[in-house]
Structure 1
Amino acid sequence: MNPKLVNANQLIGEFQGLIRQAVGAGCKITLRTDDRLWLCHVDPALLETALLNLVLNARDAMPDGGVLEIATQNIVVEEDAVAGCPAGPYVMLSVTDTGCGMSPEVRDRVFEPFFTTKEVGKGTGLGLSMVYGFVRQSGGHIAVDSTAGVGTTIALYLPRAAQGPDAEEEASQTQAMPTGSERILVVDDNEDLLKVTSEMLAIFGYQVSSAGNATDALKMLQAEQDFEFLFTDVAMPSGMSGVELAREVKRVKPSIKILLTSGYAREILERQNAVDEFPIIAKPYRLAEVARRIQAMLHES
């Protein structure tokens, strides 16, 4: 992890446009935030990923629409007030839906790796286990309150940061969001991540096309030769890898800029003899970080 001082309100504010697009028009999103929220010391990319996982799960629990609430609150947990949570000051970030809810048996297993209630091909059962791991590694706690037929609330308790006098001002500073108009092809076998990343780049002005695998990406590139940028995952479970795709695209269109991404960046590139062959950004990435990297690469000589 790469923890930093994070204002969760600010992170949600920067992220909410993408959340609204990922959830779709069928769900109403409400924000209920504490204006004087403390800072927490967490990895911001992992917090974004955790929030995205919770939001997408909430969306899937409301196939006919509903209300999704994201809330933040300063909270001091007293001894034994929250089961399993040590006493102390926390920043609580919660996601609540009005969906199908869970039975007690399902609720007790939601953080198990590979446990999923979704049909085959629709879920790996890794999303909530990754959220659990991130929160616990950050010294925090996660709690689930769910009732079948009523809805679910998942709350993250993130320890309050012991910040210095200038930390809050520093953490509240934001960088201008990069914009562009170039044509970009995004490739990832994770449907939700592909959708959100593509929509984020479109919000920033880029003309974005997306593909769920290397074969479809190559077909799109062969049909349309005016793509200026390829952003592709490295590890795709079937067929051509992202490195192989990048090499073929570079052969056909030498002028195109290429950025790879992977959760195991160095190891993957070493196995494919591709270290230093292409620039790479590690997963999980912050979406604005990707946009800045793309903008810099498009404008380098």
Structure 2
Amino acid sequence: MIALALHGGAGTLSRTEMTPDRERVYLAGLQQALDAGYAILARGGTALDAVEQTTMLLENNALFNAGRGSVFTAEGRHELDASIMCGRTRNAGAIAGVHNIRNPITLARVAMERSGHVMLAGAGAEKFAREQQIETAPDEYYYTDMRWEEWQRKSRQTEARPRALGTVGAVALDSHGDVAAATSTGGTTNKRYGRIGDSPVIGAGTYANNRTCAVSCTGDGEYFIRSVAAYDVSCLIEYRGLSLQEACTLVIQDKMTALGGEGGLIAVDPAGQAALVFNSEGMYRGWQREGEAGQVAIF
């Protein structure tokens, strides 16, 4: 059995703002990433390779808040976070607060495999990237009119806490029975003080364990960190015997909603079951299991 699920963010979608033309473009981007990741699994590739490639394609798509489509910070820059985890070994890699890395998820994987550490941040992570010859991009690469206009609106508002504005991620089960998860984000529009959300935090935004599941989260990062949301799904399966769907629903629809957090998550388990759960109006998402046609959706 093989399975793949992906997301392109949750928590900021509105049906009233989604025109038919815009919806078609978003769905096409999701489908492209889903097809590429699933093709890796279909030819016997690893779950790690599948989630990395899927996430890379979403990072390369300016529609999504990760990589090229990342939002502007209060200083007018782009700070990138990402993490990846292998369910077989439970090795993980994460990078936080980096600039000018073309594909943050690739740096996170290289950090996992070559750094001897789990999380690298800021200037140190950028130095490691240079040593490993990770591809970079100039500031102009990350500029889009859509993100610039969002930043201009946010910078004029008096709201103390910037709201989450999307994340991308993928989870997979490969033909070897291994699961993996990956998550990448540009953070929140107009964020200050070097804020880091849940995406690079293992156990909060990303988690994978062959005994239970692989999870990637999206939404109000502060709530996912405080809830250790991704790991909580795994714990509910391992210690309470819940099904994947039951565990994901409990975490997002009950626990997260009770705290006031908005967002969602995607997950797969070793049996090939997939869950895509959110408490927001929508979540960019896609999924495919062996023997079934792939599907993408927003609302």
Band of TM-score, shorter chain: 0.3 to 0.5
Higher RCO, 1 vs 2 (CA within 8 Å, ≥6 residues apart): 2
Could you tell me the TM-score, scaled by structure 2's length?
0.32
Could you tell me the TM-score, scaled by structure 1's length?
0.32
